[in-house]
């Protein structure tokens, strides 16, 4: 995918969130993020968008502070929150569209370029949280296009969890395979109690395997679908160990 496609996905997901959450009380609990209500979901994502916009728009060589309220300059009242949120992600989309292809700035995941890093990361950040918004409203999430969903799995498996202290943990060396049943992409994660190593391959001898259509697998690896909503084969403990994945947004 290119930067323009990611930016379109970011904008669509943001618009969908505004549409869905506009029908809800902002005190409605978010079932996929039990510590949050809808207001927290919006504030969190608005903070992440402001953080990313500052880095890209300013060409910053180091990340700014991560205090959410400080990043956004204070939270608006509830009756203005969604309109303010929409203005924020649309402004982020504008900054990304206007950024030069040779953008130089701080990043935290491996990528072909800083621009692709930020466009991809913000597209998937917003897309997973639009699933949270739909679940908060009691809706079945809109399915993802397979190419985008498999890209989201790839970002998590190949870039996020291979960072130290982010990947799954196991008492002994083990392997976990993932396969999109519609698009055919496959990954295998090899890990122990130290660090995960991921490859784009289908290891038939992996200790456990999860198989699902790309849209479902994307949501499954991000813990937005129940454990048994995908086809699971092999050692149940290896599958359970996936819950030890620790994702940080920087």
The dihedrals phi and psi of 238, each to the nearest 5 degrees, come to -60, -40
Please give the Cα distance from 51 to 195 (Å, whole number).
Answer: 28
Residue 195 pLDDT class (50, 70, 90 cuts): confident
Percent of the chain with pLDDT over 90: 81
Cβ contact 118:95 at 8 Å: no
CATH no. of 3-136: 1.20.120.450
DSSP label at 166?
A: T
Beta strand 208-212 with 174-180 is parallel
pLDDT in tens, 116-147: 999 999 999 999 999 999 999 999 999 999 99
Over its C-alpha atoms, the chain yields an Rg (Å, rounded) of 18
Residue 249 pLDDT: 59
Please give the Cα distance from 168 to 187 (Å, whole number).
Answer: 14
Please give the Cα distance from 147 to 191 (Å, whole number).
Answer: 26
In sequence order, the 6+-apart residues with CB closer than 8 A to the CB of 83 are: none
Residue 222 pLDDT: 95
Residue 98 pLDDT: 98
pLDDT in tens, 51-70: 999 999 999 999 887 787 88
Residue 82 pLDDT class (50, 70, 90 cuts): very high
Average pLDDT of the chain is 94
pLDDT over 60 (residue 250): no
For domain 149-244, give its CATH number from 2.40.160.20, 3.30.1050.10, 3.30.390.50, 3.40.50.720.
3.30.1050.10
CA dihedral 154→157→163→164, nearest 10 degrees, is 180
pLDDT in tens, 101-111: 999 999 999 99
Residue 212, H or E segment: strand 208-212
CA–centroid distance for 20 within its chain: 19
Q: Where are the domains of the chain?
A: 3-136, 149-244
DSSP label at 189?
A: E
Residue 248 pLDDT: 67
Residue 164 pLDDT: 74
């Amino acid at each position: 995918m290119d930067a323009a496609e990611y930016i379109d996905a970011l904008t669509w997901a943001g618009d969908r969130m505004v549409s869905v959450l506009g029908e809800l009380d902002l005190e409605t609990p978010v079932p996929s993020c039990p510590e949050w209500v809808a207001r927290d979901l919006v504030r969190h994502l608005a903070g992440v968008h402001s953080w990313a916009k500052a880095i890209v728009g300013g060409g910053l060589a180091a990340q700014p502070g991560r205090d959410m309220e400080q990043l956004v300059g204070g939270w608006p009242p509830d009756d203005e929150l969604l309109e303010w949120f929409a203005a924020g992600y649309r402004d982020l989309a504008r900054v990304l569209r206007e950024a030069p292809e040779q953008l130089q700035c701080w990043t935290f995941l491996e990528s072909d370029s800083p621009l692709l890093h930020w466009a991809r990361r913000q597209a998937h950040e917003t897309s997973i949280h639009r699933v949270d918004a739909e679940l908060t409203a009691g809706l079945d999430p809109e399915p993802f296009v397979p190419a985008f969903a498999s890209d989201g799995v790839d970002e998590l498996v190949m870039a996020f969890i291979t960072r130290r202290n982010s990947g799954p943990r196991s008492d002994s060396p083990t392997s976990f395979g993932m396969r999109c049943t519609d698009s055919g992409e496959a990954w295998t994660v090899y890990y122990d109690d130290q660090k995960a190593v991921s490859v784009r391959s289908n290891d038939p001898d992996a200790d456990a395997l999860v198989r699902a259509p790309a849209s479902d697998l994307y949501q499954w690896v991000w813990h937005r679908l129940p454990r048994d909503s995908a086809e699971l084969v092999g050692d149940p403990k290896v599958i359970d160990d996936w819950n030890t994945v620790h994702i940080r947004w920087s």
